[in-house]
Amino acid sequence: MAGKLIIFSAPSGSGKSTIIQFLMQQNLNMAFSVSATSRAPRGSEQHGKEYFFLSPSEFRTKISEEAFLEYEEVYKDTYYGTLKSVVEEMVSAGKNVVFDVDVVGGVNIKKFYGDRALSVFIMPPGLDALRERLISRGTDTMEVIEKRLAKAEYEISFAHKFDVIIKNEILEKAEEEALKVIRKFIEQ
């Protein structure tokens, strides 16, 4: 039986990655969609594991071949995208494919797959709480945090385009709600 597609989007600091990690450990036959990028590998990153690393010209060729479900040029010649072939291979193998993408990518993947996909938006409890989470991470400067918060406002404006909105005020409750929603979707 073919697998299903589960799309997660959220502003930075909303807990999306933590919730996805929790779900990946719940025996739901899930596989994570590995994105392609035209940036160089960092540290010990490996082709096919963290990303599929392509040159900018290889990426543009794949764009012209319509090989991506969604893609974005984040900076000049630095692209990120989701390869259709990789996703289709996993779905055909019966895996439930999980996407961790920005809101525009999430909306585009949902449009492409329709009812075969469930789109989930992880809503932060509010911008003040989000600011506190980003500060407590200790990974970004205040300038970067303010940019992330401005982007979060924009991203939240897309929430209504998703099938499910899960508000993450208490992580354990959000994880349980996500698990319930995903189980129901997979079993139908």
Instruction: Convert the pLDDT of each residue in 44-70 to its tens digit.
Output: 899 988 899 999 999 999 999 999 999
- CA 171 from centroid of its chain's CA atoms: 18
The pTM of this model reads: 0.89
1 has a pLDDT exceeding 90:
no
By residue range, what is the domain housing residue 136? 5-187
CB 81 within 8 A of CB 68: yes
Res. 130 pLDDT band, cuts 50 70 90: confident
Number of domains within the chain: 1
CATH number reported for the structural domain that contains residue 164 in this entry: 3.40.50.300
